[in-house]
Amino acid sequence: MRQLLLADLDLLHELRRALTFVLGMTWEILWALVLGFLLAAVVQALVSKRRIERVLRDDSPRTLTSASALGAASSSCSYAAVALARTLFRRGASFTSAIVFEVAATNLVVELGIVIAVVLGWQFTLGEFVGGPIMIALIAVLFRAFLTQRLVGEAREEAERGRLGSMEGHAAMDMSVGGEGPFWRRLLSADGVTATSHVYVMEWAAVLRDVAIGLVIAGALAAWVPDSWWSSLFLVGHGTLSNLWGPVVAPFVAMASFVCSVGNVPLAGVLWNGGISFGGVMAFIFADLIILPILDIYRRYYGLRMAGFLLVTLYVAMVVAGLTVGYLFEWLGIVPTTRDAHVDTAAAVFTWGPTTYLNLVALAVSGFLVWRFFATGGGPMLRQMNEPTAHDHHAHHVEHHAHAH
């Protein structure tokens, strides 16, 4: 009996320890998440998805550059980005430009960069925005070399079947504000504030599950996995071999974690503290588009052969991008020399200071936007997030704005 009691106490202690890491990391990144999603909401409130559809008709360098810029501006959770890429492909976009858009919409977005800076440091944010274009360029080269018209044709036939993935309705909704006039006038108008609140709440609703899962997994790993295990996995102390191995193995860790989008940043912090190379961290963050649930969505959207093609080409691109950034930053001398990612316990961060003040402001802003969302009839949109893609979502939302005030 005494041994069982001691075992129960040990289990409770370990669970409490993991929970303190989860709460600590949540509090550390809360303001950054709010700021990032607010900035993304502002951009999406002013950039129409119809504009995106018109410019992605081929895979020329100019078009792929536009796809990258529009993807970064159309910040989305990974599932919504994948669904939107399929929609663009069905409406006439080239397959390459649709996938480039998808990659940019998850890996070149402002909220991701802010959270990376808070958890890991500015060097990793810079690595994200240097490595992302490298990965996109590699995808363009690999697709040009190995993607056949026959495979694209098969993928288009499968895409037209309309099999459901995840966040279908969210991907189809266009919540941008029309009209002319200066940026600030449109943004601060009644419609502009409403559109911003709608995008903000919908983006949070789309990523909240992944962020929560990512924080729980990161907290559990930080509390329970010893540094010696990470050191063995990442071949710490083996010099060049360790630098090469990190980007190779990191995507497999991402695939097994099931976490995508911003949610994998806390886990990236755990891996960095555990000894993975700088390039390995970058490859891990890039791997949000080949986690197992998304690979299954590729299979449903485009068929098994195209899903396999995307797995291989995206994996190669993210590994090479991670290696390139790792060695480039090491040559420039800007790889951090300390492993102090902000993976802290609640006691370490729940103090009066800049983080707490920023979080209080962030919570106030979030409260206003959530109130505005429901006050202008946004509630039903939450139930539509996983509905099948429909071509009339844009018109429906414009009409909704017209009657919301």
255-271 tens-digit pLDDT? 887 666 777 888 888 88
pLDDT digits (tens, 9 = 90+) for 47-60: 666 666 677 888 89
Structure tokens at 284: 């891990």
pLDDT of residue 6: 43
Residue 221's pLDDT band (cuts 50, 70, 90)? confident
Q: Kindly tell me if the per-residue pLDDT of 239 is higher than 60.
A: yes
d(CA 101, CA 56): 9
Query: 175-205 burial string, b = 16+ CB within 10 Å, else e?
Result: bbbeeeeeeeebbeeebbbbbbbbbbbbbbb
Task: Calculate mean pLDDT across residues 157-170.
Answer: 71
Better pLDDT: 248 or 43: 248
pLDDT at 75: 63
Q: How many other CB atoms sit within 10 Å of the CB of residue 376? A: 20
| Rounded average pLDDT over 295-323 | 95
Q: Is-contact 201 371, C-beta < 8 A?
A: no
Q: Note the pLDDT of residue 231.
A: 85
**Structure confidence at residue 24 (pLDDT):** 73
SS3 letters across the chain: CHHHHHHHHHHHHHHHHHHHHHHHHHHHHHHHHHHHHHHHHHHHHHCCHHHHHHHCCCCCHHHHHHHHHHHHHCCCCHHHHHHHHHHHHHCCCCHHHHHHHHHHHHHCCHHHHHHHHHHCCHHHHHHHHHHHHHHHHHHHHHHHHHCCHHHHHHHHHHHHCCCCCCCHHHHHCCCCCCCCCCHHHHHHCHHHHHHHHHHHHHHHHHHHHHHHHHHHHHHHHHHHCCHHHHHHHCCCCCCHHHHHHHHHHHHHHHHHHCCCHHHHHHHHHHHHHHCCCHHHHHHHHHHHHCCHHHHHHHHHHHCHHHHHHHHHHHHHHHHHHHHHHHHHHHHHCCCCCCCCCCCCCHHHHCCCCHHHHHHHHHHHHHHHHHHHHHHCCCHHHHHCCCCCCCCCHHHHHHHHHHCCC
Name the nearest CA neighbour of 317 among 143, 77, 118. Answer: 143
pLDDT at position 48, please?
64
Mean pLDDT across the stretch 324-330?
96
Average of per-residue pLDDT across 328-332: 95
> For all residues of the chain together, what is the average pLDDT?
80
pLDDT, position 14: 62
> Span 68-79, mean pLDDT?
78
Q: Is the pLDDT of residue 13 over 70?
A: no
Can you give the pLDDT at residue 258?
66
Q: Which two tokens stand for residue 158?
A: 């499968």
Cα dihedral 178, 85, 210, 367 in deg (nearest 10): 0
pTM of the entire structure?
0.79
Query: What does the pLDDT read at residue 385?
Result: 63
The position carrying tokens 């729980």 is 216
Q: Tens digit of pLDDT for each residue in 23-71?
A: 777 777 788 778 877 877 777 776 666 666 677 888 899 999 999 988 8
For the ranges 133-142, 154-163, 223-232, 239-248, the lowest mean pLDDT is seen at: 223-232
User: Does the pLDDT value for residue 395 go beyond 60?
Assistant: no
Judge whether 33 and 77 are in contact, CB under 8 Å: no
pLDDT tops 90 at residue 281: yes
Whether residue 313 is predicted with pLDDT greater than 50 in this model: the reply is yes
Report the pLDDT value the prediction gives residue 391, as an integer from 0 to 100: 45
